[in-house]
Amino acid sequence: MSSIQSLFKPFSAGPLSLPNRVVMAPMTRGFSPNGVPGEDVVAYYRRRAENGVGLIVTEGTLINHPAATDNPNIPNFHGEAALNGWAKVVEAVHQAGGKIVPQIWHVGTTRKVGSHPNPEALPIGPSGVTAEGEVVNEPLTEAEIRDLVAAYAQAAADAKRIGFDGIELHGAHGYLIDQFFWEKTNKRTDRYGGDMLSRTRFAVEIIEACRQAVGPDFPIIIRLSQWKSSEYTAKLAKTPEELGQFLAPLVEAGVDIFHCSTRRFWEPEFEGSELNFAGWTKKLTGKPTITVGSVGLDGDFMSLFTEGKGAENANVDDLASRLDEGEFDLVAVGRALLVDPAWADKVRDGRQDELIPFTPGALQTLH
Ligand SMILES: Cc1cc2nc3c(=O)[nH]c(=O)nc-3n(C[C@H](O)[C@H](O)[C@H](O)COP(=O)(O)O)c2cc1C
């Protein structure tokens, strides 16, 4: 019989062993002035490790490129000060018995022209266009693509050097890597654009370069989504066959775990099967997958950004039975863990009455 205890069974894949299946979803918080995570960020992640989270994926943290963000409070993943800050985060999480990977990020053409921290740096993307079709720059040159790939690989090498347990590449939500995946933002006619296989080339080169930088025994996770921040109904793959074609080169390049971003984990990805995005990805690749989307809450996170809405606590029974059936392997939890560092322990111990509902005000503080 399935029970929530299936969330608390150990997990192991290659070099990664976790005490349970609960993953903290990457969540941008903007509490790192000048890109440097400080003691409050250290304590924020330590609290999740102390309270039963199996694996922490950090907020998106930036590769070494001047147009990687449009917000100077987003943490960098380059430069001595920021990397020292991250090393303290790793140390604190490890001391508390936790595991942690950084989410490696570049926003691509979602960056607003003229924004800080580098107002002179133009947004970049495969074709220099936004999802709305606005031209903000020239298409990236091959030399610029090479430099970007090298910046991702440097981040991976630094992650290993300062003690992280792996990396997660942010390949989702319409940011740089996803802009290469998506026809709407990738209009290239060279080897980086055109059919699905060519549109995966940028990601493939990044994964290969990261693998080269970290060696065979350092987990590489990639986060993928069909949806884009600018277009929730977008789909990279309209059928399981297309999804298989999309995923195969990423597997070949060396991805260990796929993190499949959806807003409601219970929604089937394609007609004719109950499997969700993580379920299909696991079935098609044979790799472990992470599911995500409204776990433990009764409303999805888009309503936070579109309507400023919170959400009440909800039970996780359906999730647990799907986990038990092996549809996916790990479960990422976003807002429920943002508002409550002790969410995992409370769920494990059946302390439902102590769960904290998510309110938009929670974003103001590092709880
Ligand atoms: C405040 C906030 C910041 C987020 N930042 C990121 C991010 O940096 N990278 C990312 O991949 N997803 C980000 N997300 C999406 C979450 O990782 C997660 O997929 C989403 O919140 C759905 O999970 P939930 O319903 O459990 O909150 C963010 C979500 C929230 C609420």
**Mean of the per-residue pLDDT values for the chain?**
97
Summarize pLDDT for 253-310 with one digit per residue, the tens. 999 999 999 999 999 999 999 999 999 999 999 999 999 999 999 999 988 988 899 9
149 to each of 126, 145, 154, how far by Cα in Å? 13, 6, 9
- Residue 61 pLDDT greater than 70, yes or no: yes
Q: What is the pTM of this model?
A: 0.98
Dist CA 200 CA 265 (whole Å): 25
Architecture of domain 4-364: Alpha-Beta Barrel (3.20)
Among 7, 23, 28, 177, name the best residue to mutate to test ligand 1's pocket (greatest count of ligand atoms within 8 A of Cβ). Answer: 28
Q: Report phi then psi at 214, rounded to 5.
A: -110, -10
pLDDT digits (tens, 9 = 90+) for 62-105: 999 999 999 999 999 999 999 999 999 999 999 999 999 999 99
Distance 173 CA to ligand 1 centre (A): 10
Sign of the dihedral defined by the CA atoms of residues 31, 37, 38, 39, in that order:
positive
Distances (CA, A) of 210 to 149, 217, 236: 9, 12, 24
Q: Which atom of ligand 1 is nearest to the CA of 60?
A: 8
Report how far residue 292's alpha carbon sits from residue 131's, in angstroms, rounded to the nearest whole number: 24
Q: Measured from the CA of 264, which atom of ligand 1 is nearest?
A: 25
Q: Mean pLDDT across the stretch 214-222?
A: 97
Catalytic residues: 175
Does the structure show a pLDDT above 80 at 2? Answer: no
**Mean pLDDT, residues 209-228 taken together:** 98
Looking at the predicted structure, is the pLDDT value of residue 1 above 70? no
Average pLDDT of span 322-331: 97
Atom of ligand 1 minimally distant from the CA of 358: 27
What whole-number distance in Å separates Cα of residue 269 and Cα of residue 62? 30
Q: Which protein residues touch ligand 1 with a CB less than 6 Å away?
A: 25-28, 59-60, 103, 170, 172-173, 223, 261, 263, 292-295, 297, 300-301, 304, 333-336, 363
Task: Answer yes or no: is pLDDT of 154 > 90.
Answer: yes
CA distance 322 to 151: 38
Q: How far, in Å, from the CA of 291 to the mean position of ligand 1? A: 12
Residue nearest to atom 24 of ligand 1 (CA): 334
Mean predicted confidence (pLDDT) in 302-327:
93
